[in-house]
Homo-oligomer: A and B are copies of this chain.
Amino acid sequence: MRNLRINESRIAEDLAALAAITDPGRPWTRRAFSPRFDEGRRWLAARFQAAGLTVRTDAGGNLLGRRAGGAGLGTILVGSHSDTVPDGGRFDGVAGVVVALEIARMLDERGYRLRHDLCIADFLAEEVSVFGVSCIGSRAMAGVRPEAWNGLEHEGRSLAQAIRDVGGNPDLGAKAEDIRAFFELHIEQGVVLESGGTDLGLVTAIAGITRIEVTLTGRPDHAGTTPMGYRADALVAAAALVTDIETEATRLAQMGSHFTATVGEFSITPGAANVVPGSARLLIDARAVERPRMEGFIAWLQARMADLPAGIRADHRILSDNAPVPMDPGLISLLDQAAATLGASQILMASGAGHDAAFMARLAPAAMVFVPSLAGRSHCPEEFSEISDIALGAEVMAEAILAFDAQK
């Protein structure tokens, strides 16, 4: 057992209390803009207040708790999100909010007076919300939430109204101007840390995500009367493409920095037992932390789609294309030193998933700490991380925050 300043029991209690605030019969579900989410927010606000923080909801709908600093140097922001996916877990997002709160409590308890303000944040709607969009709060705080989103509707309520309903104001600018550094602890949602027996991951960059829809069109024919050599089978062509995408993505991943490509949606038409498939649709999710590799992959894919069997036509559309976001080397270095000081093993790794930190990085130096996920599971009830791992991550983060605050 390490002797931590961070209080593991309080983290465990907070996580348990928030887990109990779930839609009945659906552990664990606390989606943004739902009554359950509001209940979680009220509980969090009370907890923030009890920790001596000044609580408010900003115009972007983010719940903030502030502890004033001594030197007017601006704000160190720490946080994550308390919303979940439907039937999600007890750790994704929530762990980062609880850890931020615990760091504030620990600093207070130990009498650490920071030179910077410390602000802890529960960002609004990091997960894809009922409005179909994600990272609503962190985008607003970064000043990049699209104006047009105000008009999105769900069950007769606009997103603008929903933001008002959580205490925000969609008509005001929500961009934060005084952030000097941002820290976020999050569960890894993968198996890299667990399989390596590593305590922590220090995130070097959040991968850019490009989504490409490919449609292969062949010819639907009678499965019995069309000999093998006379077919233009869209599924057979699509299967070869899936295999090649896997091979190319594996090759790129082996070259060094994080790269993944996944065909997560796949369907054929007409989809009848006795009909040769006439068309196939693939949705490719490609992620890279180095933009040139993504560009290389897209170029490879386009060349591959020009090389199809006779009778098969390919069409593709890039549905979305987001650049990778590097984390700040200075903050990574502080986290690295803190981990060494505390005897925590760590590796540098990319984040394949998106996070609020990607938007905070537009405002200030940003960094993330990953803690191990059991069997890599996330967004499901089985999602689990050890409280001791979360506490160790919090301790390292607190140490790095103290170091940052002490810098010239």
Contact = CB atoms under 8 A, between A and B. Distances in A.
Interface of A: 188-192, 195, 207, 209, 211, 221-230, 233, 235-236, 238-240, 242-243, 246, 249-250, 253, 258-260, 262-268, 271-277, 283, 285, 287, 351-354, 376, 378-379
Contacts of A258: 227
Closest 7 CB pairs of A and B: A224-B352, A190-B225, A239-B242, A223-B262, A239-B239, A189-B225, A224-B353
A352 B258 CA distance: 49
Given A239-B239, A243-B239, A246-B236, A230 B276 contact: no
A236 B228 contact: no
B275 A264 contact: yes
A80 B266 CA distance: 39
Nearest to A188: B225
A262 B42 CA distance: 57
A222 B352 contact: yes
Contact of A224 (B195, B233, B276, B287): B287
Nearest to A128: B274
Contact of A260 (B228, B268, B351): B228
Given A242-B236, A250-B228, A223 B271 contact: no
A229 B253 contact: yes
Contacts of A277: 263-264, 266
A110 B127 CA distance: 81
A264 B223 CA distance: 8
A224 B250 CA distance: 14
Q: Which of A189, A190, A228, A353 has the most CB of B within 10 A?
A: A228
A265 B269 CA distance: 9
B283 A223 contact: no
Contact of A243 (B211, B243, B352): B243
B260 A376 contact: no
B250 A263 contact: no
Contacts of A268: 265-266
Contacts of A379: 222
A260 B227 contact: yes
Q: Which of A191, A225, A226, A276 has the most CB of B within 10 A?
A: A225
A206 to B, nearest CB: 9
Nearest to A266: B268
Q: Which of A260, A262, A264 has the most CB of B within 10 A?
A: A262
B226 A249 contact: no
B253 A233 contact: no
A379 B225 CA distance: 12
Q: Which of A222, A266, A287 has the most CB of B within 10 A?
A: A222
B250 A242 contact: no
Contacts of A272: 264-265
A354 B285 contact: no
A92 to B, nearest CB: 10
21 contacts: A190-B226, A191-B226, A191-B230, A207-B224, A223-B260, A223-B262, A224-B287, A224-B351, A224-B352, A224-B354, A225-B378, A229-B253, A233-B262, A236-B242, A238-B239, A239-B240, A243-B243, A264-B273, A265-B273, A266-B277, A267-B267
A287 B240 contact: no
A335 to B, nearest CB: 19
A246 B234 CA distance: 12
Given A239-B239, A262-B233, A226 B352 contact: yes
Nearest to A189: B225
A264 B271 contact: yes
A121 to B, nearest CB: 22
Nearest to A275: B264
A219 to B, nearest CB: 9
Contacts of A242: 235-236, 239
Given A224-B353, A239-B239, A274-B285, 4 more contacts: A191-B230, A238-B239, A265-B273, A273-B285
